[in-house]
């Protein structure tokens, strides 16, 4: 059961008890994002970062919310920070690549997909995204 509204209520209660809980702000933000409340989620993620600025997962979370709002430049900045903290999380490279793709930076996107695949060679989504982006820059496909 996905009770995101209940989770928001529970995390809000936790925040009342401990206003310095980066975990509670982050998870409340995630629940809000799942409900499509990305702007409100970004507020929570920003509070979490203000409390705990060394957690790469929070930067990933805010990047995703910004991405959903088509704020690709902001998302890339947050993915950059997440990668600075933890360079071994393939998903972040893939997400940053997608944001770059949407901005028309196809070569930058492919470089990120390649990095994601270097970290995790079996990462299917990065392989698929790379193929889509390569098709945008005119790669010649040969099927023989």
What are the tens digits of pLDDT across the range 70-87? 999 999 999 999 999 999
Cα–Cα distances (Å) from 56 to 1, 11, 31, in that order, read 27, 20, 18
Share of the chain above pLDDT 90, in %: 92
Query: Over 70: is that where the pLDDT of 144 sits?
Result: no
Alpha carbon distance 31, 54 (integer Å):
21
Q: What is the DSSP letter of 89?
A: -
State the first-to-last Cα distance of the chain, in angstroms, to the nearest integer: 48
Q: What is the DSSP letter of 109?
A: H
7-59 pLDDT per residue, tens: 999 999 999 999 999 999 999 999 999 999 999 999 999 999 999 999 999 99
**What is the reported pTM?**
0.90
Query: Over 70: is that where the pLDDT of 109 sits?
Result: yes
């Amino acid at each position: 059961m996905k009770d995101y509204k209940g989770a928001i209520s529970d995390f809000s209660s936790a925040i009342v008890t401990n206003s310095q809980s980066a975990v509670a702000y982050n998870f409340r933000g995630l629940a809000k994002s799942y409900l499509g409340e990305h702007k409100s989620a970004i507020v929570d993620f920003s509070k979490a970062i203000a409390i705990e600025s060394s957690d790469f997962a929070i930067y990933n979370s805010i990047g995703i919310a910004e991405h959903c709002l088509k704020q690709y430049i902001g998302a890339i900045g947050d993915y950059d920070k997440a990668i600075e903290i933890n360079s071994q999380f393939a998903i972040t490279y893939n997400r940053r690549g997608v944001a770059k793709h949407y901005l028309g930076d196809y070569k930058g996107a492919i470089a990120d997909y390649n990095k994601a695949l270097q970290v995790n060679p079996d990462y299917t989504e990065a392989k698929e995204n790379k193929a889509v982006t390569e098709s945008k820059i005119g790669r010649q496909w040969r099927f023989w």
